[in-house]
Structure formats: structure tokens, C-alpha cells
Structure 1
Amino acid sequence: MPGSQTAKQATRNSALWRLAGRYRATLITGTILGVIGVAASLAQPYVIGRLVRAAGLDEPLGWLIAVLCLLFLADAVFTSLQAYLVGRAGEDIVRDVRGLLAGRLLRARLAAFASHPQGDIQTRMVTDTSLVRIALSQSLAQLTINGFMVVGGMVLMFLIDVWLMLITLGCLTVASCLALLIARRLRRAALRNREDTGSFGTDLQRVLSALPTVKAARAEGREQQRLTALADRARNSGVHVGALGALMTPAVNVGLQASLAIAVGVGMTRVADGGMALADLTAFIMYLFYMVSPLVMVFVAIGQFQQGRAAVQRVDELAALPQEEAMPPDGARPGWPDHSHPSAVHFQNVHFSYGGPQSPQVLSDATFTVPARGLTAIVGPSGAGKSTVFHLIEGFYRPTGGHIRLAGREIESLPLSSLRAHVGYVQQDIPTMRGTVRENLVYAQPDATEEQIGEAIRMAQLADVVALLPAGLDTQLGDQGTGLSGGERQRLSIARALLSNPSVLLLDEATSQLDARAEHALRQVLRDLSRSCAIVAIAHRLSTVVDADRIIVLSDGNVRATGTHDELLRTDALYRQLASTQLGERYERPPPLRPAR
């Protein structure tokens, strides 16, 4: 009982059910039209009975035939209108559900989003939302319309002969109980099948996103076996769903067939001894025939609704993801807290763990300051927490302890719109999306002018690349930027960040795929840019940051040392080891940069 109450409460609180409420009027109208069609169907056996009686009495039949034809026409018209309205409402619901989910996913907190495999998310967005349409529109309408048909037919059959109807009802009750039992098991099986299908989608995306690695490792056979095993598991659970669904119709049909046989046998006996008119038996049998399809459809709709409820549950889980605050419309650029403040970023005793306070700390008591102008580098071994620093500055995650201030303001007090409008971020994995070069370039600044675009391209050393593209900035790129080399995609990402004119620019290993010449040119660009904003660069290649104004050495989540390259070579053993490993003991500085003016 508590579980049932919980399920009912969850249904009432479902975002999808509330969304479907927008189309209540259309669904109700469609249902009413369907009920009118049902009424026309229920009247047909009565008119046919009158037709049989009139024929036996040699009375005129023309008007009865005309009425019967009108009933046939009304049944067809109203049933068609019902199907159209309910179908349209179902498509509208799916569109709105997918739009809602798209917004919820895009605004979800990264920690919550990362807890769901992306392949499973795609399955829920595409396949499960299609099943939601069935649950929230078609199955409910079918339940109402066919249920009315069944109840109306039973009432009229009771009026014709009570005892014959009681015998028929007993057979139908047994069949209905069996069908309801199957329907309950069908919902559990459908939920398992949706989960298995999501697992297959997740693994498929994992393999396809790393297809070059799979081929290089000669792992095609192993991955095919793994995917086949997951497909087989989804197939087995799908077969289980199909088997239960296939049992629904026979369970009802057995009851109907038994009812029909008994009704015909008992009815003919009563007609023979004069206890029942032949016209009444004809009408009774016709009502029983008319109930066959609606009664089957009632239980089919119950089965569909149970499968749809499983999909609704999975979709509601996505709709319930914790959200970031709402962003303003594209193009809005809220102000930075204080451009005159001496520090751009300040970490004070910051602690952070991706799994919460009880999990291993990625950052532990980290304290450092990034000035409002100049180039600050963050170096350290893998796992030291360098990328985590950027995630916290961008507001992707919240620290589990300590304080982070931007331009003197607590980061929690800043609207995300202001924070991300003024903090540019170039990721390590060089995200480039399908679309034109221009669309990728202006992604964060869609209202950029041609002059601003040209300046960003020049500063990122991308002008020569664009000039060689077949359609220039309008050249189409494939998934993950196919059509550009790794270094070209990296420069495109840098140009995209520069186009936003950020107050703080975060570069996560931004020169990893640049050659020596392009790296030296970009170092000069960063030096020039650092006169007007704060640049924070994560660097595994120390040659890119030896000219930094300040270098922060991270180790095991702690700030180990801070200073210039020359200072750290003298004072910090870890930095000296990193420099020795990468640059050799006989280190020679790269060509000097021209002084900033």
C-alpha cells in the first residue's frame, strides 16, 4: 500500500504529466468525439435487432436501413476525428517533452549530468520520449473510449437478458483478472528493457567516440562481442516484454470465446422454449461481437500504458536533474564585478572532492592569487588538480571548503551569466562541433562583427588556415571538427575565447598541438593580451610558460610553490625536476619575446 501511494504521488509530481496538461482540452475533445463514435457503434446492434424483428413482421425496412447507414457513417467520421486529434496532441507532447529535457540537460549541473552515461541519456531523449507519447495520449484515450464501449455494451446486454449477461460476465471477469496480472508484470519487464537498451546505447557511444583508438588497438572483434552481448541482453528483455504483451490478447480472447459459446448455447435453448425472442438473442450476440475488439484494446492500452509509465519514470529522472541558475538571452553580457580590483582570482584554503566531503580530496587547502593583469601559469604532475582549478573558476563545481573570489567578490554571489561572460575557457580536449568554421568561432559571441572576427583570427594565428579552406569561414566541419588538424582546432578554440574579450582567460594546455613556430607566435599573443586581462594557463610543456609573470606549482592538491621560472629553478625541487625532465639539464631559454608596450 505505501508503495502504491508513493507511485501515485510520483505520478502527480511528474513534470511530464503537468506538461501533458497543456493539451488536456484537445485530448478531452478527441475523447468525446470517440465516445460519440462509440455511441453510434452501440446503437447499431439495436437497430439491427429492430431490422430482424421488422423483417419477421413484414414491416417497412427502408428507414431502418437508412438509420443504420447513418450510424455506420457517424462511427467512421467521429472515430477518425478522434484518432487525428489524439495523435496530434501526442506529437505535441513529445515535442514539448524533448524541448523540456533539452533545456534541463543543457542547464544541468555537471556533477549531476556526469552521473548519467551519455548513451543512456540519448536513449531516454529519443526512444523513451516516443513511448511517453503513447502513455500520455493514445493509451489513455483508448482506455476511455474502449472502456466506454465495453461498459455501454454490458449495460445494454443486461437490459436484454440479465441471466445470460451474468453468465457472460463471469467468463469475462476471469479473463480480465488474468490480463491485469500480465499487465503488472509487463511494466516491470518494460522498465528492464528500457535500461538494457540504454546500456547498449551507452556502450555504442563509448566505442564510436574512440573509433580510431579501437582500430589502432585491433579491438574491433572484442568490441563487437561486447556490443553483441549487450544487444543480446536487450533482445532477451525485449522478447520477455513481447511475450507478456502477446499473452494479453489471448487471455481476453479465451474469455470472449467462452462467453460467446455459452451465450449462443444458452440463448438458443431459451429461444427454443420461448423464454427469449430471436431478435433479442441476435442483438445480444452482436453486442458480444462488438465487445471483442474494444475489450482487447482496453487491455492492450493497459499494457501500453504500463510500458509508457516505465518510460515516463526514466524521462522524469532526467527532468529532475539539479539545475544551474537561468542564463540571460544570447548576446547579453552582464558587467564584471570590479575591473579596478588588483586580483582577478583568489583561492583561499580551498578544498574540493568530486565525490563530496567524504571522498579523496582533489584540492586540499589550496591558496593562491591571480593578478588582474599578466600571465599566470599552473604546473604540476598529473592528478595535481590543475584542471579542477579551472572547473571551480568557471563555476562548473562548487568547492567543498574555503573561498574563491573573482575581482574581490565571492564566486557564489556572482550570477553565472556574469561569471561565464567574462571568463574565457579553452579546454584541453579542443571541443569543436559539427557546423561551419564561423559557427564554431562565434559560438560564445553570436553578435560579433566581421572586424572582431578578423582580429580574433589574427591573434590566434588562424588567418593562413582560413585562407586555405575551400569556403573560408563558411567551410563545413564534421563531428569533433573533422576537416581541421588538431593544431588548427586548437587555434580555433583560442580564437573563439579571444572573441569574447574575456577579463580572465583560462587556457588548459592550449599549445599542446602547436608546432614550435605557432607556439612562439601564440606566446607573443598571450603576452600582448596579458596587458589588458588575466591569463591563467595550465602547461605540461614548460617551454610555453617560462616567460610567465607567475608560476604556481601544484602537487597533491596543494600549492607547493609560487614564483617566476628562474626563482622556482633555484627554490623548488619538484619544479626543477619537471624542468630537467622536459628541457634537459642543459636547458636553453626559447627565443625572448619582445617587451609588452
Structure 2
Amino acid sequence: MTRRHLPKVAGAVVLGLVAAAAGLAQPALIGRLIGAIGTDASLVLPIVLVVVLFLVEAALTSTQAYVMGRIGERIVYDVRSALLGRVLSADLRAFGAMRQGDVFARIVTDTSMLKVALSQSVAGIIVDAAMVLGGVVLMLLIDPLLLAVTAGCMTVASLVAFVVARRLRKAAQESRAIMGDFGADLQRALSALSTVKACRAERLEGSRIGGLALSARRSGVKVSALNALLSPSMSIGLQASLAAVIVTGMGRVANGSMNPASLTAFIMYLFYLVTPLVTLFMGIGQLQQGRAAIGRINELAAIEQEQDVLLPRSPQGVVAQSPDDVVASRDTVVYRHFGVDFQRVRFSYQPDEPTLRGVSFSVPARGLTAIVGPSGAGKTTLLQLLMRFHPVRGGRILLNGENIELIPLGVLRGLVGYVQQESTTLRGTIGENLVYGEAHVGPGEVERALWLSGLDELVSSLPRGLHTELGDAGLGLSGGQRQRLAIARMLVRRPSVLLLDEATSNLDSESELKLRQSIRNIAGECTVISVAHRLSTVVDADQIIVLDQGTVRDVGTHQQLLTTSALYQRLTSIQFQDNGRRALPATGKAGE
């Protein structure tokens, strides 16, 4: 990710090196200026050169800092964009294994540490190291003995600084991990705030998350303490070196083995090394913290991705290459009619716990097919496999005669619409929620989707209509209204197959009856597969699949299954008993 920016980083480093050279030349010129005092030599040129070097160093240093700041921001932008793409394209199972708060922390805060590590620290370390090395060489040319005295004092300080830097990296890694835990638990509590309040668990969550905040504070204090030790360790070494150099140098000046100008230049070089040495080891400390962040970023970047086409595509696919092949105009929508076939489909979330055990059934083009069964039978899993949220472990699923593993994901999910049991409503207007992800939706399609889902009267009664603002999670609409909005959002996509996962779970009886009729209307134009826990919603289905323990037990209409399927009879008798244990009549047409 950073390799593409290396030329710019190199250019900024060159600016810093030129600035360092200008800085290193100043003590030599000042020494010559001091040597010229008391002689007849002109002082104008040395003074002008010193002033020019001051200005050049200041200009180049500020320019280098600005360039590296821009490069750092660009690197962070690129990394965040790449991570966002990886997360949005991640395999759902792999993403579900990660805590969302920790993912948020890695994308937001860890990338900020990356900026410091890759732009400021690396460039600063190179420039400061070059300045230190250059200063040491020039000090060696002035007086090797004084350099040896300086090196003896600085070696001890440097060893201490390296030990502190290594401990700092480990402490930074622990601190980043704790911050990830804190962010994950905070997001968990905030996303379920109503549940927290209903269970009177405010104190419990406050104590638990507060404990993580305390751990984060302690780890942050430890990082700050270690980081703070880097600068004093070098400062003490420099002060000791300065004292030793002054005592030794003054003795050498007194016995005539060294002139005052050389001693002045040497001391100035020693002063000039103070800032680059301190910033060098501070940069090393920042780099160690950044390396901890880089490790966490790389872990997120390595998240397993959704595979697009799982099998080699046949030369002539049955399914169109683009969902835009559906004919649409301002006032009418024409759906293509696709059938679905499940052929010996097997799947398991855990290796030794199969969820589906060779499921086979066919869904005709157009019409309503319902899938019913006890909890845990694998009903929702079937829909998710058709959406390719998970890959099948055996068998295959055909859409219009073609294996869905041959169909690009973008095409498949344009042809198949999916309404989950708890579909998310996004912050924004009703209209924005309706056309979410769709660039070209005509007014006629929006109106039709609202009518089919039973939202037309609600929207028309609102003062701002489609421009009505909704809060997070659809705040401003009831549960049933949010569910109908989710159905309408799928309908504007003109799906050939519409999947409904208990779409009526949040509806009252009147709204349920209206939506049942809407579903029948939709089923006349496209294929509808509905997972139902409330059997009253599917008694008028063209076909009902009874699923139990990952296998198909029975297939038929409501009337047929009441006489042929013991499991279906048991499910209906449990759900439709009413005080006197009165079961639903054999005929259950919508509207009766």
C-alpha cells in the first residue's frame, strides 16, 4: 500500500537531508567566524553565509514536514479505503467471527497510528540518523579524543533507550488490543441500548465497559511512561557528554593542543545533535507503536473474501449477465420468470453438526412457495445459500437451470431480492431507503413498490412524503412499517426471485392480511419464496415445503398437507388453536 508513495517519500527525505546538511554546515562556519575575529579578514561573507544557511534550513524543514503530512494523509486514505473494501466484500462467516467495535477501531484509530509510523517516523528517523552521522563525522575531523569522550557517555544512554523502545512496542500492542476490546463492547451496548434499559442493566454494562476503560487508561499510561523515558535517557547522556567535553576541551585549549575555535565548533555540533538524537529515539518509539497498529491492520486486511464465480462459467449462460436486462419503464415493470431448484443441498455451520442434509425441491417460475418447519430446521439457511451468503457444502442450487456458483455475485443479487426477518432501516429519508444501492429507479417503480408493500397510504399521509427523515435503525416508523419498507426496497430492484424471511413477523393482523394480498400480487409477476413461522401467512401458497432437521419431509398445498403431513398438522394445530383448540380451516385464502 505504501510502495506506490515511495517516490514522494524519497523526495521528502531528500529535502530533509539537504536541510540537515545546511544545519551541519552552520557550526563549521561559526567556528571560522570566531577564528576570523581579531584579524583583518572581512566578516561580511561568513555572516551572510550563516544567515543564508539558517533560512535554507528553516525553509526546507517546513517544506519537508508539509510534504510528509500530505503523504501521510494519502497513505491513511488509501489504507482506509482498502480496508473498507475488504470488510464490505468479506465472507459473512469470517466477518461474523470478528467484533464490529474492534473492526471499527482498526479502520479508524489504528490507521491514524499508521500515518505517524509510515510518514512522520520513518522519514524523521532517516533524516535524524543522517544528521547524527554527519555530525559525528565532522566532530571526528575536529578532535577524535573529544568524540571518544562523547561516544562513551552516549553509548550507555543509547542502550537504555533501545531497551525502553522494545518494551514500548510490546506495551503499544497490548494497548491497541485493549482499545479494540473497549470499542467492541461499547458498540455492543449502544446497539442494544433499549435492551440494556429494559433489563435494568445500565450499572452492569457501565461497570463492565468501565473496567475496560480503566484497563485502556492503565495501558495508555504505561505507553506514555515508556515513551516519556526515551527523551530523558538521551538528554542525560547528552548533558553528561557536554560536561565531559567542556572539561576535557578546556584542558586541551589550556595546554595548546586545541584552539578555541575548534572547541567552540565541537560544542556547537554537540548541541546540534541534541534535537536529532532526541527526535530519533522518539521516532523509534512512534514506529514501535505504529508497528503494533500495522499488525492489527494486516490482520483485518487478510479477512476471508467472498468468492465471486466459484466454478468456470459455461460459454452460454442461461441467466443474463446483468440484472438491468429486466425491462422497465416509468409506469410499468416487467419481471422475468425464473424457477429455482435445490438439488441434494448440504450445509453445516459446524463440521459435526449438519444443518441441511441433502435438501431437494423445485420452485416454479412465478407463484408463492412457502417453507415451514420447526425452529432450527434450516429454513433461513436455504435463503442465505440462494443469496450465496455461504457456499453450499454439497449439491447445487439452480436459478433458471444454471448453477448459482456460475453466476457473478452482482448479477445473482440483482436477480434475487432478499428481505430478512430483521431488515435494517438506514438513517436518511424514506426515499433514500427505498432506492438504496440502485442508481436508476423511476418514479413509477417507486410508486408500485409502495403500493405492493402497503406503504402508499402511509407515505402520502406524511407532510414530507418520501422526504421524511428517519433516525438510526428506522426511528420514526413502527416495526411493521419498517418491514414493509424493507420489502418495498427489494421490489424497486425488479427481482426475478423474491425471498421473504418471515416478512410479516412485525405486522398486526390487519397489516398482515393486506401484505398477504400484496404478496399474492407480487407472486403473479415473479417467483416468491417465503419462510414462514406464522403459518397463517402462507395457507394460500401455491406450494408449501415442510422442512425438519435439515431435510424435506413433505411438499404440497395447505389442504393437501393437512391430510398427508403429520408434522404440518402438528404445526398448524399448535399455532391456530384458540382457547377451544380450534384449528385453522382447510381453506385459507387471503381476504377470507
TM-score range (shorter-chain normalised) is over 0.9
Give how far 1:467 is off: 1.5
Q: Secondary structure at the match of 1:48?
A: helix
Aligned match of 1:185: 167
Q: CA distance change for structure 1 residues 417 and 465 in 2, over 3 Å: closer, same or farther? A: same
Residue 16 of structure 1: aligned partner:
none
Deviation at 1:285, TM superposition (A): 0.7
Seen in structure 2, the aligned counterparts of structure 1 residues 326 and 172 have a Cα distance that, compared at 3 Å, is farther
Secondary structure of 2:342 counterpart: strand
Q: Which residue of 2 is the match for residue 46 of structure 1?
A: 28
Displacement of 1:170 after TM fit? Answer: 2.3
- Alpha carbons of structure 1 residues 454 and 343: separation in structure 2 relative to 1, 3 Å: closer
Whether 2:262 is the aligned partner of 1:269: answer no
Equivalent AA in structure 2 for residue 457 of structure 1: L
- Equivalent in the alignment of 2:271: 289
- Alpha carbons of structure 1 residues 222 and 433: separation in structure 2 relative to 1, 3 Å: same
Matched, 1:579 2:569: no
Q: 1:300 to 1:366 in 2, by over 3 A?
A: same
Q: State the secondary structure of the residue aligned to 2:2.
A: helix
Equivalent residue for 1:360, pick from 327, 349, 353? 353
Is residue 363 of structure 2 the alignment partner of residue 397 of structure 1? no
Q: Is contact 1:334–1:417 with CA below 8 Å preserved after alignment?
A: no
1:346 aligns with 2:336: no
Question: Does the aligned pair in 1 maintain the 2:540–2:588 contact within 8 Å?
Answer: no
Matching residue within 419, 427, 447 for 2:440: 447
How far residue 323 of structure 1 moved from its aligned partner, in angstroms, is 2.1
Is 2:388 the counterpart of 1:372? no
Contact 2:335 2:526 in 1 (8 A): no
Counterpart secondary structure, 1:592? coil
Deviations 1:536-578 (A, max 9, x none): 1111111100111111122222222222222222222322222
- CA spacing shift, 1:249–1:113, aligned 2, 3 Å: same
Matches within 5 A, 1:163-174: 163-174=145-156
1:156-235 aligned at under 5 Å gives the runs 156-235=138-217
Q: What corresponds to 2:130 in structure 1?
A: 148
Is the contact made by 2:338 and 2:497 (CA closer than 8 Å) also made in structure 1? no
Match of 1:333 in 2: 323
- How much has 1:588 moved relative to structure 2? 3.9
Q: For residues 342 and 572 of structure 1, what CA distance do their matches in structure 2 show?
A: 30
String of CA shifts for 1:336-370, please: whole Å, max 9, x gaps: 9xx99997222222221224xx2411222222222
* Equivalent residue for 2:406, pick from 408, 413, 417: 413
TM-score (norm 1): 0.92
The counterpart of 1:528, out of the listed 479, 502, 521, is 521
Q: Deviations over 1:89-131 (max 9, x none)?
A: 1011111111111111111111121121100000001000101
Alignment match, 1:279: 261
Residues 232-263 of structure 1: CA deviation (Å, up to 9, x unaligned): 11122222211211111122122212211111
Deviations 1:116-151 (A, max 9, x none): 110000000100010111111111110111111101
- Partner amino acid for 2:192? A
Q: State the SS of the aligned residue for 2:353.
A: coil
Q: Counterpart of 1:270 in structure 2: which amino acid?
A: R
1:250 aligns with: 232
Distance 1:372 1:179 in 2: 73
CA contact (8 A) 2:572 2:584 kept: no
Contact 1:341 1:407 in 2 (8 A): no
1:323 alignment partner AA = Q
Tell me which residue corresponds to 2:589.
592
1:126 aligns with 2:122: no
Q: d(CA) in 1 for partners of 2:336 and 2:447?
A: 30
Is the Cα contact below 8 Å between 1:486 and 1:513 reproduced in 2?
yes
1:292-315: CA deviations, max 9, x gaps? 110011111111111111111111
Q: Does 1:80 align with 2:70?
A: no
1:91 maps to 2:73: yes
Does 1:570 pair with 2:563?
Answer: yes
Cα deviation, 1:454-501, whole Å, max 9, x if unaligned, reads: 111111110111122232111121111111111111111111111111
1:553 matches 2:553: no
Question: 2:471 & 2:148 partners in 1: Cα distance?
Answer: 68
Distance 1:497 1:50, change over 3 A: same
SS in 1 for 2:361: strand
Q: 1:340 to 1:493 in 2, by over 3 A?
A: closer
Give the aligned residue type for 1:587: A
Aligned pairs for 1:387-536 (under 5 A) are 387-536=380-529
Unaligned runs of 5+ in 1: 1-18
In the TM superposition, residue 448 of structure 1 has moved relative to its aligned partner by 0.5
Question: What is residue 7 of structure 1 aligned with on the other side?
Answer: none
Whether contact under 8 Å (2:343, 2:397) holds in the other structure is yes
Secondary structure, in 3 states, of the residue corresponding to 2:37? Answer: helix
* Superposition RMSD in Å: 2.1
What is the alpha-carbon distance in structure 1 between the residues aligned to residue 455 and residue 170 of structure 2? 56
Provide the TM-score with structure 2 as the length reference.
0.93
Q: Deviations over 1:141-195 (max 9, x none)?
A: 1011111110111010000001211221122222222212221221121111111
Classify 1:288/1:394 alpha carbon distance in 2 versus 1 (closer, same or farther; 3 Å): same
| 3-state SS in 1 of match to 2:354 | coil
Superposition deviation, residue 63 in structure 1: 2.3
Aligned-partner SS, 1:127 = helix
Q: Which amino acid aligns with 1:210?
A: A
The equivalent position to 1:109 in structure 2, one of 87, 91, 94, is 91
